[in-house]
Amino acid sequence: MKLKTGDTAPLFTLKDQTGKTHTLSQYLGKWVLLYFYPKDDTPGCTVEACSIRDSWGAFGSLNAVVLGVSVDSVASHAKFVEKFELPFTLLADEYKQVVKMYDVQKALGLVAARNSFLIDPTGKIAKVYEAVKPEQHAAEVLADIRELQKSR
């Protein structure tokens, strides 16, 4: 079943690039950009990650955190974070549990599709982004958070 705006974001627990465990529920009270991407250190994924990195201060000023998810390993994420100095969390979904929960499988389920979910501070999905354009995604999400904050 496809998730949509207004649905409660499915809870999960995954390890980040340092091996630290993160649960979605620990971010209640903040905006969360949960972005799925196909593979570490590939052209489109690097553009998207660096765009978010370059907008990092704006995310913080809006009480927003970024959680990137792919099926790559913790070690792969660690290399990607180090190589591009990424200041946000990358989560390793090696067993594709979260990819399946959020229904973002691609290529016979081998990688995650480039889809994202903006989750509001109450844990509800505020916006679903499909077929994300890597170079525009950070700016689009920041504009949406600003707009949604005005309307609350």
The rounded radius of gyration (Å) of the Cα atoms in the chain is 14
Name the active-site residue from 9, 32, 33, 45: 45
CB neighbours of residue 121 within 10 Å: 16
Q: Is 85 left (phi over 0), alpha (psi -120 to 50) or beta?
A: left
- In the residue annotation, 45 being an active-site residue is answered as yes
Q: How far is CA 16 from the centre of its chain?
A: 12
**The domain 13-150 belongs to what CATH superfamily?**
Glutaredoxin (3.40.30.10)
Show Cβ contacts of residue 136 under 8 Å, excluding neighbours closer than 6 positions: 51
pLDDT tens-place string over residues 99-136: 999 999 876 666 788 899 999 999 999 999 998 999 99
Domain ranges of the chain: 13-150
pLDDT tens-place string over residues 19-76: 999 999 999 999 999 999 999 999 999 999 999 999 999 999 999 999 999 999 999 9
